[in-house]
Amino acid sequence: MKILSIVGARPNFMKISPFVDAINAHNKESHHPIHHILIHTGQHYDHNMSEEFFKTLNIPEPDINMGIGSGSHAQQVGKTMIEFEKIVTEVKPDWVVVVGDVNATLAASITAKKENIKCAHIEAGLRSKDMSMPEEINRLVTDRLSDLLFTPDRISTTNLIQEGTPLEKIKFVGNIMVDTLENNIIKAHSLNIHEIIEKNQINGFNQSQEINDIGVLTIHRPSNVDDKLILERLIDFLCSEVVKELYLIWPIHPRTGTRLKEYNLWEKVMNNDKIILLNPIGYLEMLKLNDLAKVVFTDSGGLQEECTVLGTPCLTLRWNTERPITLKKFGGASILVGNDINNIQRELYRVINEKHEPFRPELWDGNTAERILKELINFSN
């Protein structure tokens, strides 16, 4: 069997790593080895947004890097489709495997189906019901086209059933991100916070201060960072209120850095002596900081899941989530606070001294990749 899988942006790399491991484990034992070809679109291209993750997560060098780079959504999707079509027609795989909800996911699933190649989607069925989110469009189209839909939780399975997806296409396999977390948590624990800061810092934070209570911040969604007023209000609040309670460690996404400079907010953040501004950090470093943090502020999808498994209170800077299983009301760690300062403040004081309460939803057990590979093999037989 020939499988072609495709990744493009940072959150994809954590999802492909255990899948590659599962294929390698299969190939060691089976008389029917799988030929796996890995494609990187090149949407994320900075060393610390891409290569660093391949190294840390032991992902082999991609067989092909398309070098798509940045651009508008149409440019990214269009360029990826044009290049991917050439690869698919030459390689003629039995399956194209796509992960998550980024532009590569959408572009590859459309291209595969137009070439009559079976497509499998890892992390299917997530829905925010927010059509202003580019990722929601990517999820809807990819799921509509895929032949096998691997869901991380039962809520996602229900979403697909309600949309009329045939039952035989849906396989509830658990969350592949948890496989990666399991494989790396011990290594992450061995890291040292001072070394993480030293290696990645942007604003020359004075490390002779004792860093006890920390919060971690990540924001990159257009809805939070592309609107000057919204971003300015958030920054004011972080720089004046949150820092009274915590040292705030902020690994900054390139999109957000650009916006801070554009809106003249960069200096304000740089000069705050309780904000520790970092370049984008590696996977292990993020796990370590997450585990240490009293609270995480984020608009990322993956962090909501990692906080749930580690038990770190997570204030999700969004009004909705495609990952409701991570919400407090389902046993998770995440609270939706949007970008309303009163909400954020109220919830911050409520959770800041809470004990970490790790939670594992059903099948978030570290064996998801193995289940996925079994289903792919069974389907093909």
Tell me how far, at minimum, the Cβ of 23 lies from ligand UD1, in Å: 24
Q: How far is the CB of 303 from ligand UD1 (least distance, A)?
A: 10
Query: In angstroms, how far is CA 132 from the centroid of its own chain?
Result: 19
Among 51, 78, 185, 254, binds ligand UD1 (CB under 6 A): 254
40 binds ligand UD1 (CB under 6 A): no
Among 26, 36, 40, 220, the one annotated catalytic: 220
Contacting range for ligand UD1; rule: CB under 6 A; set: 100-108, 158-166, 228-236, 312-320: 100-108
46 binds ligand UD1 (CB under 6 A): yes
Q: From 5-13, 26-34, 84-92, 192-200, give the range in contact with ligand UD1 by CB under 6 A.
A: 5-13
**Active site annotation includes 40:** no
- The reply on whether position 79 binds ligand UD1 by CB under 6 A is no
CB of 30 to ligand UD1, least distance (A): 34
Task: Please give the residues from 313 up to 372 whose contact with ligand UD1 meets the rule CB under 6 A.
Answer: none
Q: How many residues bind ligand UD1 (CB under 6 A)?
A: 18
* Identity of the residue, 255 or 374, whose beta carbon is nearer to ligand UD1 in the bound complex: 255
Q: What are the catalytic residues?
A: 220
Binding site for ligand UD1 (CB under 6 A): 9-11, 43-46, 49, 70, 101-103, 134-135, 220, 253-255
